[in-house]
Homo-oligomer: A and B are copies of this chain.
Amino acid sequence: MKIPASVAMPLTVRVRRSPFWPRSHAAGGHNYISYNHTLIAADIDSPQHDYQHLKDAVQLWDVGCERQIELRGKDAARLVQLSTPRNVSSMRDDQCFYIPTVDGEGQMTNDPVLLRVAPDCYWVSIADSDQILFYKGVAAALKLDVAVTEADVAPLGIQGPRAEALVSRLWGDQIRELKFFRHTRVPVNGRQMIIAKSGYSTQGGYELYFEGSDGADALWDELMHLGADLDIKAGSPCQSERIESGLLSYLSDITPDMTPFEAGLGQFCYMESDLGCLGFAALQLKQQPVRQIRPIEISGESLPPLQSFWQVTDKEGHIVGRISSACRAWSYDVNAAIGLINDSHWNAGTNLTVQTPAGPREAVIKDRFWGR
């Protein structure tokens, strides 16, 4: 049967709304998904408009669905390390680390950003899975001295090339010194809140880890006022921009059966010695994947929406991979896609066929993502 582009989702207590949702929704937020049991808008204006505006100006994103798992206690660092092959022992207090998290088989359970917010306190800023249950299970099983909770924090994305100009107007020029994937604290509502130079785009920007809910409207309005001459608008994570840039999405591109090596995240895996990661022994045996994430250009006009994985076939018609994300990358005038491709066909320049619902399309493996 024909699958509709969208369906109606009733808003119940099962789907949380962040403190920034009323402003984001009033600005046009639509096409919502439930992500970490929380609403997130896929679009504000049209996809192409949101995309171009993100590249030109500055946007406020309600990304309250990025929940923070707080690990607090003397075993907090150990618990983090048990969950990831990345070496977190060298982490400094102001750093953010992208950490693939894995199970005992070395398969990915999430791909969060880790923040060290205080000695013995970490926030794990999660993608869309209940990673908190992994931490609760391990902490209880090993009787660790750590409290595992979900913090009352709703990140606000400030993304785009004019983000630095905007935040410096509110928090002063010293914020211009902040380096990529570092964080500091800024005054909001009489509190000191964490702001990181990070975000789910490659256009530059910040994520403010907004605590509680009081004052969210006022902060949003103040930023909109301060950024009026910067053409500030509401936005949301942009599929086309993140796909052309190779920013992966957990539960789309990365599935729970994949290792970090298959996801192309080998550089985040410290394999020289066993630091404690529960998946380390399994990962030692899986360092040479036989399938891996690749950038793929799909020929022709714009594509239909991707509602199931699309098969990738070779010239004999054998299945050699799948497409997990695809979009029009208007800046490059191509269809950009993310695929998981077998080693037999993953070399750049390999010509393949993608079986889309609109029929087969010619495609080619690229050597890198467009926006990198």
- Chain A interface (Cβ within 8 Å of chain B)? 1, 3-15, 17, 22, 25-26, 30-35, 37, 39, 42, 82, 103-104, 109, 128-131, 133-142, 148, 150, 249, 251-252, 256, 278-279, 305-309, 324
Contact = CB atoms under 8 A, between A and B. Distances in A.
Contact of A104 (B9, B104, B140, B279): B140
A371 to B, nearest CB: 21
Contacts of A148: 103
Contacts of A42: 10
A26 B14 contact: no
Contact of A7 (B9, B103, B140, B256): B9
B11 A140 contact: no
A251 B7 contact: no
The oligomer's copy count stands at 2
B136 A136 contact: no
A42 to B, nearest CB: 6
A109 B138 contact: no
A5 to B, nearest CB: 6
Contact of A25 (B1, B11, B135, B140): B1
21 contacts: A6-B8, A7-B8, A8-B30, A11-B305, A12-B306, A13-B306, A13-B309, A13-B324, A34-B34, A37-B128, A82-B141, A103-B136, A103-B137, A129-B130, A133-B134, A133-B137, A134-B137, A136-B137, A138-B138, A141-B141, A150-B256
A103 B33 CA distance: 28
A25 B1 CA distance: 9
Given A8-B31, A13-B307, A32-B8, A139 B104 contact: yes
A294 to B, nearest CB: 17
B13 A6 contact: no
A141 B104 CA distance: 8
Contact of A13 (B278, B279, B308): B308
